[in-house]
């Protein structure tokens, strides 16, 4: 659920007021005539206050994807190895390959959690980085907090870990989940990433950040792009961070929308993977590529099939009208493509 334009502009203006005197809301929200250093620092301090950490532990980025790129550039390279799940968010794999590193993947468990035992078994002296997305993208599934703690503590000190919490807000009620920002452990090379693209609805502005130990933050920041967060994005992110009512309403709405999606699946004898994110992986009962093509022909875009999950499609939850259209198009599917 996105923030309305009026509320966003109002909050951007309020966030900017503490940093500089401004003559108009338009100038507060646009300000194209200045470089973003001050606004980026304001954002960094706001994130630090929000999480009750020092500003030196926070690294803002142009989306959390830039943080992943920074981590790859910092801890990987020729002769180094990334260990990650399959399937997961593959941008980390791409960053590792561009850095010249080997990418080693381990299949998820039958419960679609990270197979931490298999991942740990692949760790050796060349392992520079481990990537864990929790809840996982694209499956929306959790890996239990206690298992993750034991895994991180079992790694050599030379191996860094990126724990991607882009979908953190959607998993908060699970007893198996707790953020490593909210409940930190003593692990200097643990890098926790967050994004303003999901619950805050600012995907187009590209803002994300990492929270980590100060020395690790310095290493990451050395690889950031100059002026990587622009003025409008920084001010909007500060405003969004302060809008706790919007976050709470979005969580409730997503939970309701996800349950309704499950209901519609079950009514059609479909098998979704139990998700704790803002999307659902659904078993189509047939080749997913045919389903994707059917939706494309009916002007509905869903992502291409995920390797290893050839009968599944990943469906992002949208408005009631969006989901109504999804199911209308689904029900137009030729029966042979819907056989289980």
Q: What is the pLDDT of residues 310-326, one digit of tens each?
A: 999 999 999 999 999 99
CB distance 132 to 164 below 8 Å:
yes
> Using 50, 70 and 90 to split pLDDT, how confident is the model at 284?
very high
The range of the structural domain enclosing residue 306 comes to: 245-337
Q: Which of 4-18, 59-73, 103-117 has the lowest mean pLDDT?
A: 4-18
Residue 81 tokens read as 């190895």
Give yes or no: residues 87 and 206 share one domain.
yes
Average pLDDT on 20-31 reads: 44
Q: Do 132 and 162 share a domain, yes or no?
A: yes
| Burial class (CB within 10 angstroms; exposed 0-12, middle 13-18, buried 19+) of 259 | exposed
pLDDT at residue number 6? 43
Q: Measured at the alpha carbon of residue 73, what is the angle toward residues 72 and 77, in degrees to the nearest 5?
A: 85
Same-domain pairing of 260 and 232: no
- Do 194 and 252 share a domain, yes or no? no
Residues 160 and 232 occupy one common structural domain: yes
pLDDT at 45: 94
Same structural domain for residues 224 and 77?
Answer: yes
Instruction: Calculate what percentage of the chain has a pLDDT beyond 70.
Output: 89
Does residue 164 sit in the same domain as residue 252? no
Q: Is 160 helix (H, G, I), strand (E, B) or coil?
A: strand
pLDDT tens column, 129-148: 999 999 999 999 999 999 99
List, for residues 203-244, the tens digit of each pLDDT value.
888 999 999 999 999 999 998 887 788 888 889 999 999 888
Task: Read off the CATH number of the domain in which 30 is found.
Answer: 3.40.640.10
Report the number of distinct structural domains present in the chain.
Answer: 2
pLDDT digits (tens, 9 = 90+) for 158-207: 999 999 999 999 987 778 999 999 999 989 999 999 998 888 888 888 99
Query: What contacts 157, CB < 8 A, 6 or more positions away?
Result: 188, 189
Q: Are residues 298 and 199 part of one domain?
A: no
Residues 96, 161 within the same domain: yes
Does 253 share its domain with 237? no
């Amino acid at each position: 659920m996105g923030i309305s334009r009026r509320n966003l502009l109002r909050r951007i203006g309020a966030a900017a007021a503490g940093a500089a005197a401004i003559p108009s809301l338009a100038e507060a929200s646009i300000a194209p005539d200045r470089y973003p250093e001050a606004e980026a620092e304001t954002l960094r301090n706001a994130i630090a206050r929000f999480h009750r950490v020092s500003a030196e532990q926070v690294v803002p980025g142009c989306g959390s994807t830039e943080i992943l790129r920074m981590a790859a550039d910092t801890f990987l390279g020729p002769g180094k190895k990334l260990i990650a799940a399959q399937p997961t968010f593959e941008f980390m794999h791409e960053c590792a390959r561009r850095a010249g590193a080997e990418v080693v993947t381990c299949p998820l468990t039958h419960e679609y959690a990270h197979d931490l035992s298999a991942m740990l078994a692949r760790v050796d002296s060349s392992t520079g980085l481990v990537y864990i997305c929790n809840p996982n993208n694209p499956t929306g599934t959790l890996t239990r907090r206690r298992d993750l703690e034991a895994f991180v503590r079992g790694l050599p000190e030379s191996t860094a870990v990126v724990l991607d919490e882009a979908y953190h807000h959607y998993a908060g009620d699970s007893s198996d989940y707790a953020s490593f920002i909210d409940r930190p452990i003593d692990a200097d090379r643990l890098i926790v990433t967050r994004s303003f693209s999901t619950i805050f609805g600012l995907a187009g502005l590209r803002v994300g950040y990492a929270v980590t130990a100060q020395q690790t933050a310095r290493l990451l920041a050395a690889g950031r792009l100059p002026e990587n967060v622009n003025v409008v994005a920084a001010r909007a992110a500060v405003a969004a961070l302060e809008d706790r009512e919007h976050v709470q309403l979005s969580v409730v709405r997503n939970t309701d929308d996800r349950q309704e999606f499950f209901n519609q699946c079950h009514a059609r004898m479909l098998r979704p993977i139990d998700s704790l994110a803002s999307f659902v992986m659904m078993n189509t009962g047939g080749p997913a590529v045919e389903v994707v093509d059917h939706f494309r022909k009916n002007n509905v875009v869903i992502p291409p099939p995920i390797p290893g999950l050839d009968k599944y499609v990943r469906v992002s939850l949208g408005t009631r009208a969006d989901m109504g259209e999804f199911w209308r198009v689904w029900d137009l599917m030729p029966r042979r493509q819907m056989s289980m």
